[in-house]
Chains A and B, each alone.
Chain A
Amino acid sequence: MIPLDVDGPVTIEVFTVAHGHEGLVLTGPCGAAPWLIETGEGEHPLETAVRIIEGALPGSLLVHSTSWRFERNSVVLTFLAVVPDPGSMDAAPVSRSDLARNAEHAAPDEISYGQVLEHALRHLAWLAKDDEVVNAALDADWLEALAGYVPEPFQQLS
């Protein structure tokens, strides 16, 4: 199988998350995995992300950028999309990860998608406290789940 190469100067990566009966789950149109979206020449990454996400997930509650990193010769801009439930999409529980931390003048050598998702949820915890719009979009179950995450700002991860 030859993979579909997502090219372009900016690759959009979306983690779609819902609050299930037993906690947070990773889901999305590509299953329980990062969802990659290409940006075309001249396309604004945020506008592209919102357009594609809202088209594929019309009931999404929230879409927010959380981090960026340089990978596969491209800037990867990560977004978190919060949906009410997975619906018919495959889903898997979100597990906790330690974050990959920078050295004083260098990014981490390697970063896994679990670490990117961990940071994304820590950033959502930050936004839930700092941004009235985000706080209002999340219900009590979500706010309780985020209370276990140390709030983190938007970051470069690698």
Chain B
Amino acid sequence: MQEYLLTCACGWEATGSENDIVSAAKVHGREIHNMDVSHEEAMAMAAPTAS
């Protein structure tokens, strides 16, 4: 399964599958930035890692 590294502009990072990082980004966005992060917005901050 493809793994991704997601990096928020604030420096916070998450790694994992697409579902993992999108879920983590939604929680981070809501709890730290008071933002609703869409699936597309989360993936726009992600890059695939070497498998």
Contact = CB atoms under 8 A, between A and B. Distances in A.
B44 interface: yes
A4 interface: yes
Q: Do most interface residues of chain A lie in helix, strand or loop, or is the interface mixed?
A: loop
Given A6-B35, A30-B32, A40-B34, A1 B45 contact: yes
Given A6-B33, A56-B32, A1 B47 contact: yes
B50 interface: no
Nearest to A43: B34
Interface in B23-51: 29, 31-35, 37, 41, 44-45, 47
Contacts, number: 55
B15 interface: no
A2 interface: yes
A30 B12 CA distance: 6
A151 interface: no
A40 to B, nearest CB: 7
B10 to A, nearest CB: 3
A48 B34 contact: yes
B31 A36 contact: no
A6 B29 CA distance: 10
A2 B45 CA distance: 5
A30 B11 CA distance: 6
